[in-house]
Amino acid sequence: MNYLPIKRALISVTDKTGIIDLAGFLTKNNVEIVSTGGTARLIRENNIEVTGISQVTGFPEILGGRVKTLHPKVHGGVLADKDNPDHDKTLKEQDIGYFDLVCVNLYDFAGAVAGQADIKDAVEKIDIGGPTLLRAAAKNFHSVCVLPHPDYYQTFMNELSKNGAIDLAFRQKTAWFTFDLTSRYDTMIADYLHRKTDTHSDES
């Protein structure tokens, strides 16, 4: 679809820059917000209504937050093609709601490494659910808008205010940025582990 109305958003961010302004804007535009962990808590503390991810999945966040969005009730709603009647039928049969907006940014792995975290602590900053959500939304940019960085929030809000929907060109632009971002994130992690592997090999 060329113009995507925004009715339901998933927000899960490490960098909280601008997120309260965005969440407040979404609420004023009658968008349901679904969120996770610390992001949901911050939104609630600012008196903005939010649905916790566990209310959607029917399953608690577990393993210290390692598993929270990896669930069909989340990814089905992100990956469904809104122009495909079979996808629509499946979501209705499985009681899965569509997501129109995915606003996610990643754990700060670079900061952990720069802070000289040991390898076990650094590994905890390897994001799994975040890249998975970002890539799913970016793949499905014909049906979903992905916001992978605060720099895009204002443009998104301007466009929704002006048109009541988000056009395909903007969605494709943020999808491109998302795949570039996640590929660089994975490369950074691979380079770090490679260096650690080389160091370990030299010491053995």
Cα gap 180→166, rounded to integer Å: 21
Q: Which range is least confidently modeled, 11-20, 38-47, 67-76, 91-100?
A: 67-76
- List of domains in the chain: 3-203 (3.40.50.1380)
With beta carbons less than 8 A apart as the criterion, state whether 137 and 144 touch: yes
Which amino acid, residue 158? N
Q: Which residues pair with 32 in a beta bridge?
A: 8
Longest dimension (CA), the chain: 62
pLDDT mean over 71-83: 92
Q: What is the CB neighbour count within 10 angstroms for residue 59?
A: 13
User: pLDDT at position 119, please?
Assistant: 80
Q: With 90 as the cut, is the pLDDT of residue 33 above it?
A: yes
Confidence band, pLDDT 50/70/90 cuts, at residue 23? very high
Global confidence as pTM: 0.88
User: pLDDT at position 203, please?
Assistant: 47
